[in-house]
Amino acid sequence: MLTERQRMILNAIVDDYIRSAEPVGSRSISKRGDVSYSPATIRNEMADLEELGFLEQPHTSAGRIPSHKGYRYYVDHLAPQDLIKPKELHTLKTFFAEKLNAIEQIVQHAGTILSNMTNYTSILLGPEVFNTSLRHFQLLPLNENTAVAIIVTNTGQVENKTVSIPAGISVSEIEHFVNLLNRKLTGIPIYKLKTALYNEIGQEMERYVSHFEGLMSVLDDALDNGQDTQRLFLSGMTNMLTQPEFREVDKVKSILDLFQETPTMLKMMASASSPGGIQVRIGTENGHEAFANCSLITATYAIDGEAVGTIGILGPTRMEYARVIGILDILSKDLSRFLSRIH
């Protein structure tokens, strides 16, 4: 439990570091109009905050920077702030007056606006990820080595792809695999299909199908057909290059590489799509090494009260949290109202 003085000093350090990207010293904090403590008192409190894990001291500086724990405390105790400029608010509101009919077009355009307004990267899941589920799966052998995998979704979309069949798998095993999949997994969202297959019928599969792992690789291949790129929208991917903490090529390269891993990004965004309010994941909370120095702020949007997609902003941990949260809150609510109206 931090004291009121420690909270004030921590907030001041986070605010200053977000603005400057430079380690913050006690003298600069003491010069702020809203802080009435001496540099010596501030130094002592900064040492205590560092010991408690809320601050870190870079080797090359006498100043301090927030740790992930410090950012987490800052975000969890963030007071509502009106940091959105009237012109930006007008941009958000007039966006829904534009003649956009296709939901994908609306979502993509929303992502562009978000990345432009924040100078961070916007990541959006389109409604298809949540709404598209399996209606029927077929695997039609062409010869001993290849087959055509056909996936029919509840929206009537038909996807087909030629896949390789591992050696030793019989036609009867393929039929058993397909029948079991259709019997057990009809209605499961496409993006959850592989996980559900392992969790729901993995043991049964291993009992009746001797080449279960081989058939699973066939299903992986069938689902990895590039359709996911239509459901995941990224805008402002190179905005990371403008952030001081990503001047090192290796750091930003790992982030840009991860943007290309659509299944990983889908999984990450889907796990951040809990309904209700804004979700903030800081640093290692993102669960991937490439995003260890990033924060991901997400909000869901809904059609008639049912969550159908997720909007996210990815930036450095030194992010303008209050401003981004405010923008996401407005856009997600307006987007939900707009989609419910046209749906």
Average pLDDT over every residue of 148-163 = 82
Question: What are the structure tokens assigned to 173, written together?
Answer: 């095993």
At the topology level of CATH, where does 133-228 sit? Enolase-like; domain 1 (3.30.390)
Query: Is residue 244 over pLDDT 70?
Result: yes
DSSP H helices, the chain, are 4-20, 26-30, 39-51, 68-76, 86-95, 103-118, 128-131, 171-185, 193-208, 212-223, 249-259, 262-271, 321-342
Q: Give the pLDDT score at 209.
A: 63
Query: Is residue 225 over pLDDT 70?
Result: no
Tell me the domain boundaries of the chain: 4-76, 86-129+231-342, 133-228
CA dist 177 and 215 (Å) reads: 8
**What are the angstrom distances between the C-alpha of 137 and each of 150, 217, 229, 256, 287?**
6, 15, 21, 34, 32
Q: Give the pLDDT score at 86.
A: 86
Entry pTM: 0.72
Q: Which CATH class is domain 4-76?
A: mainly alpha
CB 136 within 8 A of CB 156: no
Nearest to 335 by CA among 78, 81, 113: 113
Q: pLDDT for 296-312, tens place per residue?
A: 999 988 877 777 788 99
Task: Give the whole-number percent of the chain exceeding pLDDT 90.
Answer: 36
Q: Give the pLDDT score at 342.
A: 67
Query: Is residue 87 over pLDDT 70?
Result: yes
Q: pLDDT for 262-292, tens place per residue?
A: 888 888 887 776 666 899 999 999 989 999 9
Options 3.30.2320.80, 3.10.150.10, 3.30.450.40, 2.40.100.10; CATH of 86-129+231-342: 3.30.450.40
**What are the angstrom distances between the C-alpha of 320 and each of 3, 21, 57, 119, 324?**
24, 12, 21, 10, 6
